[in-house]
């Protein structure tokens, strides 16, 4: 059956595949035919993701993307890939006047340094096939400021700038680079964050025109489009995924 979104015959590396959006991306990629390399820090959770996936030549490789030695080890272990999804990341709510260097390290190493250094090693080791697709899971946070979200917003704004430059550099090899900028997506992290802040996310999501936060699958389906040949004329683009709430991020 004709399907321009099929990932049959493609191998895709997904970072942050142990939970949330990364887990959903890995699962949905497997359902549409991809062989997936799952990476993250928690082996047990990665294996839980693997158990949800369709049968295929999938591989679990644990790695800490805040450690360049671990990044190099990961790249040594992976085969040539047709797609990379940079999804690993963390958040930390700290008001600007209280930010310490340790807070910057906690967020910027996995959110910014990690994907940049991983990309460097993948390219140097020639692990990315021609006409591959690279997808960065960014955020609407740089454009919808929230109190205490300064470091996270900065990390995602920086990765968008990096992705645009990477797309220009890799265009001669027909390697495409795009980003997705979701508004609030209901994950375990968001639920935990809301609990710690004492806010009612069930009420807050009603501020969105579609009356809900996003689901991890919403991001996964758009990621599949960007990984597939259906988006072969798309590069250097950052796509907002907001449920109509472009200025809303709570």
pLDDT tens digit sequence for 64-113: 999 999 999 999 999 999 999 999 999 888 999 999 999 999 999 999 99
| CA neighbours closer than 13 Å in the CB half-sphere of residue 158 | 16
Say how many C-beta atoms besides its own lie within 10 A of residue 56's C-beta: 15
pLDDT at 247 over 90: no
Total-model pTM: 0.95
The CATH class of 11-185+215-241 is: alpha beta
Is the CB of residue 185 less than 8 Å from the CB of residue 218?
Answer: yes
Is the CB of residue 236 less than 8 Å from the CB of residue 13?
Answer: no
* C-alpha to C-alpha distances, 35 to 65, 203, 216, 218, 230, nearest whole angstrom: 21, 39, 20, 20, 18
Q: Which residue has the tokens 């990390």?
A: 155
Task: pLDDT band for 201, please (50, 70, 90 cuts).
Answer: confident
Query: What's the token pair of residue 12?
Result: 């895709």
Query: What's the token pair of residue 131?
Result: 């006409």
Q: Where are the domains of the chain?
A: 11-185+215-241
Is the CB of residue 122 less than 8 Å from the CB of residue 175?
Answer: no
Confidence (pLDDT) at 205: 86
d(C-alpha 167, C-alpha 34), whole Å: 23
């Amino acid at each position: 059956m004709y399907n321009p979104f099929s990932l049959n015959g493609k191998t895709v590396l997904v970072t942050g595949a142990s939970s949330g959006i990364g887990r959903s991306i890995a699962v949905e990629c497997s359902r549409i035919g991809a062989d997936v390399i799952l990476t993250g820090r928690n082996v047990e959770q990665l294996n839980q993701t693997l158990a949800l996936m369709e049968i295929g030549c999938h591989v679990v490789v644990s790695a800490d993307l805040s450690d360049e030695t671990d990044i190099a080890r990961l790249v040594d272990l992976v085969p040539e890939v047709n797609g990379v999804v940079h999804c690993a990341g963390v958040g930390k709510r700290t008001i600007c006047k209280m930010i310490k260097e340790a807070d910057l390290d906690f967020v910027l190493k996995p959110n910014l340094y990690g994907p940049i250094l991983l990309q460097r090693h993948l390219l140097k080791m020639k692990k990315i096939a021609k006409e591959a697709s690279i997808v960065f899971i960014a955020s609407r946070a740089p454009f919808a400021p929230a109190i205490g979200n300064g470091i996270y917003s900065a990390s995602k704004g920086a990765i968008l700038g990096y992705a645009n430059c990477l797309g220009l550099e890799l265009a001669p090899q027909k390697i495409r680079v795009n980003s997705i900028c979701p508004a609030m997506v209901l994950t375990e992290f968001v639920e935990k964050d809301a609990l710690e802040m004492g806010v009612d996310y069930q009420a807050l999501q009603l501020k969105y025109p579609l009356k809900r936060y996003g689901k991890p699958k919403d991001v996964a389906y758009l990621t599949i489009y960007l990984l597939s040949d259906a988006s072969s004329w798309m590069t250097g683009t950052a796509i907002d995924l907001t449920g109509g709430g472009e200025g809303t991020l709570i």
